[in-house]
Amino acid sequence: MTPKPALSLTCSEEVAAARREGRPLVALETTILTHGMPWPANVETALEVEAIIRAGGAVPATMAILEGVPRAGLTRPELEALGRATGVAKASRRDLAVLAARRATGATTVAGTMVLAGMANIAVFVTGGLGGVHRGATRSLDISADLTELSRTPVGVVCAGVKSILDIGLTLEVLETQGVPVLGYGTDRFPAFYVADSGHAVPARVDSPEEAARVLAIQRAWGLGGLVLANPIPAAEALAGEAIEAVIAETLADAEAQGVRGKAITPFVLAELNRRTDGQSLRANIALIRHNASLGAAVAVALAALR
């Protein structure tokens, strides 16, 4: 007989203790581990990001569904097993209940991680890049569930903007429609992952973790949903915009020619970019997520100080 489904979240000891003591917590996703970066850089980066968050005075809560159980805080062996596994499901909002009912394992996307962070009452979440509106979405209607999740779940997502594998202008339009604040951290420009400036302005700017935390506290108190805190990649780590843009355009054309669709597109493009840039895109990806981890920890600490 199939066991009964797990109806609530299971926290690691570290996460449970932090919740009891009201210490600042930072959620982390796992799709980046299973679909965003190759082994072993994926596991090394995940462990490093957790260490940066601890050094910043907060507690990391890496999210996944393991054998049907929604989890906040993974052990090192669990992280390594996920990072080495192939064929793990990519879990967005709509996949969570199906995976849990089947006692299956899934790596959570930004949307899926936000849902679990909401269940654990964790206010801050650090990742690399958000999903968004895909190029050609006026025909395909391929718009990441990350954007609608931001409108309903009160979590502040620290990211380096979105990759230009997406249509950045349309992504910002949908975030506006969904009522999602987009805050530039120390910048008036919306960042585009590998480059600090996408060519689009941000609707609002903050210049300190405290300022970001104040906006997030009000979003949460008023039930207004989440927000995006867009943290530009440090100048020393940024890639040359035109060169990376050309590789992205080529890779997207190949994806289309090979019939790659839906949730398979982002993982396909990330793996191909890494291969075609000789690891440059991966190095930039690692640098920016580390940078986001220290900002995320600082925002979580500032938010805890407001309570």
Indicate which residues carry an active-site annotation. Answer: 29, 163
Q: Cα dihedral sign for 95, 99, 104, 108?
A: positive
For residue 142, the minimal CB distance to Mn ion (Å) is 4
Find residue 89's DSSP bridge partners: 106
Stretch that binds ligand PSU, among 6-14, 24-32, 76-84, 273-281 (CB under 6 A): 24-32
* Smaller CB separation from Mn ion, 198 or 266: 266
161 binds ligand PSU (CB under 6 A): no
Q: 108 or 294: whose CB is closer to ligand PSU? A: 108
Among residues 192, 197, 46, the alpha carbon closest in space to that of 127 is found at: 46
How far is the CA of 294 from the CAs of 174, 225, 236, 250, in angstroms? 28, 23, 17, 33
User: Residues 96, 126, 145, 252: which binds ligand PSU (CB under 6 A)?
Assistant: 145
H-state helical runs in 137-240: 137-140, 145-152, 168-177, 209-221
Spatial separation of the C-alpha atoms in residues 30 and 74, rounded to whole Å = 10
CB atoms within 10 A of CB 121: 12
Q: Which of residues 212-271 bind ligand PSU (CB under 6 A)?
A: 263, 266, 270
Q: Which residues pair with 230 in a beta bridge?
A: 159, 184
Interaction residues for ligand PSU, span 81-110 (CB under 6 A): 92, 109-110
Instruction: Please work out the total of residues on this chain that contact Mn ion, with binding judged by CB under 5 A.
Output: 1
Which of 29, 50, 80, 167 binds ligand PSU (CB under 6 A)? It is: 29
* Residue whose structure tokens are 């996307």: 109
Residues lying near ligand PSU in the complex (CB under 6 A)? 29, 31-32, 36, 92, 109-110, 128-129, 131, 144-146, 163, 193, 263, 266, 270
Residues lying near Mn ion in the complex (CB under 5 A)? 142
